Amino acid sequence: MIASLGLILLCQLFGEIVVRSIGAPIPGPVVGLIVLLLLLQGRDRVGLLRRGPLGDGGVERAASGMLAHLSLLFVPAGVGVVQHLDLVSSHGIAIFVILALSAVVTLVVTAAAFIITSRLLDRWRGTSS
Amino acid sequence: MSGTASGGPFALWVYLSQTPLLWLTVTLLVYAAADAVSAATNRHPLANPVLHSVWVIGVILLLTGTPYPEYFNGAQFVHFVLGPATVALAVPLYENRKVVLSAVVPMAVAVLVGGVTAIVSIVVMARLVGLPTNVVLALAPKSVTAGVAMGISESLGADPSITAVCVMLTGIMGAIIVTPLMNRLRITDFRARGFAAGLTAHGIGTARAFQVDTVAGVFAGVAMSLNALVTSLIVPVAVTLLMR
């Protein structure tokens, strides 16, 4: 458990160091995600990596424990709304409405783009084979 | 603390409100209750645990006159786990790598189209309703996960804390809207549903997607990470073009 959490933090730390030192516009934890993904992939090919939290399913258990309550982690930042009650009272309704409309448009457009591309690809594969 | 015993309830309150213990406990207990309600309603979209935890804790802070930084002093321990949890998304991604790899092209198209749609739609509407420029700029990265969105907002010269609030609002609304909307449009492809949820509503949408379906959750996580990249690259360009 401790070693698994340590490994996850190490990936994040590595990500932060890379991002800060090259000034990339990517968040550190996203680079950490890629590093952990590479480690998990590497473990299947290189026996040397198959030890500790990477060998006994520890990192998998720690990760699913953390992701089971992903919603909890957004609560502290969400409560930050109490700092902007003046903005809420002056423009709250307008902001609320346009955020909701934008969310609907983005959801529909994204899902549509995904499905259309996927179908075109299937059709193209179907005709080429 | 012999001083608290002689100082009465007020001194005890002063002591407790200055340690992380009190607000960390409140955060966990309120969330546990909100999550229990969500589970009891069979994960109904409107029983969103983030939404209900936020307003309940907000009301507690207002009633006790507690300033947000004092609350955050305790809640920061929960907030911190956001980073490691993002790294942890590698595990479901790895476990579902075959499904993900088979959809690389649709994902690439959807993240570009969706990322641009999120930015353009909000900036255009914000200007139409006549919001002040600093609010328009703070709204632009609202579909991206909080940490990244706040960085983008800062680089635009907007107030990152307004961005954080809009990011949370978007996340909560996206998570509430996604299931009924997709059902009504008869979209049954959980890859597309999850991808749209993660792109639009970042981590909160991803958390919602995991409640519905594991494959949807995985695609949501990928969409969230990819959109963080795409939006941080597009926002500066889009804003210069749209704000002229």
- Are residues A88 and A66 part of one domain? no
Task: Say what the pLDDT of residue A21 is.
Answer: 93
Q: Please tell me whether residues B107 and B189 are part of one structural domain.
A: yes
Q: What is the DSSP string of B158-221?
A: S-HHHHHHHHHHHHHHHHHHHHHHHHHTT---HHHHHHHHHHHHHHHHHHHHHHH-HHHHHHHH
Q: A78 lies in a domain?
A: no
Interface contact B86-A81, CB threshold 8 A:
no
Q: Which of B61, B126, B146 sits opposite A77 (nearest CB)?
A: B146
Whether A77 is covered by a domain: the verdict is no
**pLDDT of A115 over the 70 cut:** yes
* Biggest alpha carbon–alpha carbon distance for chain A: 62
Whether A25 is in a domain gets the answer yes
A16 and A65 within one domain:
yes
What's the whole-number mean pLDDT along residues B103-131? Answer: 95
A8, part of any domain: yes
- Classify residue A118 by burial, with Cβ atoms within 10 Å: 0-12, 13-18, 19+: buried
Average pLDDT over residues B92-101: 85
pLDDT at B1 over 50: no
Is the pLDDT confidence value at A51 over 80? no
First to last CA, chain B: 61
> Does A56 lie in the same domain as A118?
no
Q: Is the pLDDT of residue A7 over 60?
A: yes
Tell me the two tokens of residue B154. Answer: 């800062």
Structure tokens at B108: 């690439």
Q: Could you read off the pLDDT of A74-90 as tens digits, one per residue?
A: 899 889 888 888 888 88
The pLDDT tens digits for B201-223 are 998 999 999 999 999 999 999 99
Q: Which residue has the higher pLDDT, B87 or B232?
A: B87
- Judge if B96 and B156 occupy the same domain: yes
A42-46, B93-97, B175-179 — most confident range: B175-179
Does B145 sit within 8 Å of A26, measured CB to CB? no
pLDDT at position A108 is: 97
Residue A124 DSSP SS3: helix
Q: In chain B, how many domains are there?
A: 2
Is the CB of residue B146 less than 8 Å from the CB of residue A80?
no
Phi-psi region of B48 (alpha: psi -120 to 50; beta: other; left: phi over 0): beta
A40 to chain B: closest CA residue: B94
For chain B positions 107-146, those within 8 Å of chain A (CB to CB) are: 107, 109-110, 113-114, 117-118, 121-122, 125-126, 129, 131-132, 135, 139, 142-143, 145-146
Which of A70, A97, A121 is the endpoint of a domain? Answer: A70
Please identify among residues 86-105 of chain A the ones whose CB lies closer than 8 Å to any CB of chain B: 87, 91, 94-105
Same domain, B89 and B188: yes
| pLDDT top residue among B230 and B22 | B22
Complex prediction ipTM = 0.87
Residues A41 and A98 in one domain: no
Instruction: Say yes or no: B69 and B96 in one domain.
Output: no
Q: Are residues B62 and B139 in the same domain?
A: no
Average pLDDT over residues B184-199: 96
- If asked whether residues A19 and A59 sit together in one domain, one would say yes
Categorize the per-residue pLDDT at B105 as very low, low, confident or very high, splitting at 50, 70 and 90.
Answer: very high
Q: Which of B80, B106, B123 is the last residue of a domain?
A: B80
Both B30 and B115 in one domain: the answer is no
B68 & B127 share domain: no
pLDDT of B172: 92
Is residue A66 located within the same domain as residue A91? Answer: no
Indicate the residue among B53, B80, B107 that finishes a domain: B80
Total domain count, chain A: 2
- The reported pLDDT for the residue numbered B2 is 47
Are residues A62 and A93 located together in one domain of the fold?
Answer: no
Which residue segment(s) compose the domain that B1 sits in? Answer: 1-80
Q: What is the pLDDT of residues B28-42, one digit of tens each?
A: 999 999 999 999 998
In this structure, the answer to whether residues B197 and B96 fall within a common structural domain is yes
The residue among B128, B142, B137, B179 whose CA lies nearest residue B156 is: B137
What's the confidence (pLDDT) of residue B4? 46
- Backbone dihedral angles phi then psi of residue B141, each to the nearest 5 degrees: -90, 30
Whether B139 and B34 share a structural domain: no
Judgement on whether residues B126 and B66 belong to the same structural domain of the protein: no
On whether both A65 and A88 belong to a single domain, the answer is no
- Percentage of chain B beyond pLDDT 70 is 98
Choosing from B80, B97, B123, the residue where a domain stops is B80
Whether A119 is covered by a domain: the verdict is yes
- Residue B193, Cβ neighbours under 10 Å: how many? 29
For the stretch B136-182, pLDDT in tens is 999 999 999 887 788 788 888 888 888 888 998 999 999 999 999 99
- DSSP string spanning chain B? -HHHHHHHHHHHHHHHHTSHHHHHHHHHHHHHHHHHHHHHTTS-GGG-HHHHHHHHHHHHHHHHT--HHHHHHHHHHHHHTHHHHHHHTHHHHHHTHHHHHTTHHHHHHHHHHHHHHHHHHHHHHHHHTT--HHHHHHHTTTTS-HHHHHHHHHHTTS-HHHHHHHHHHHHHHHHHHHHHHHHHTT---HHHHHHHHHHHHHHHHHHHHHHH-HHHHHHHHHHHHHHHHHHHHHHHHHHHHHT-
Are B56 and B104 within one domain?
A: no
Q: Tell me the average pLDDT of chain B.
A: 89
Nearest 5°: phi and psi at B161? -75, -30
Segment A15-21 long-range contacts (CB within 8 Å, at least 24 positions apart): A15/B87
> Does B165 lie at the interface with A, CB-CB under 8 angstroms?
yes
| Weakest mean pLDDT among B10-19, B60-69, B113-122 | B10-19
> Higher model confidence: residue B206 or residue B86?
B206
Residues A18 and A64 placed together within one structural domain of the fold: yes
Task: Report the mean per-residue pLDDT for chain A.
Answer: 88
Q: Establish if A13 belongs to a structural domain.
A: yes
- Percentage, residues of chain A above pLDDT 70: 97
Looking at the domain assignment, is residue A105 inside a domain? yes
* Domain residue limits at A10: 1-70
A2 in a domain, yes or no?
yes
Q: What are phi and psi of B66, to 5 degrees?
A: -90, 125
Tokens 């990500």 locate to A15
Query: Do both A2 and A48 map to the same domain?
Result: yes
Q: Which residues 18-47 on chain A approach chain B with CB closer than 8 angstroms?
A: 25-30, 32-37, 40-41
Domain check: are B124 and B226 in the same one?
Answer: yes
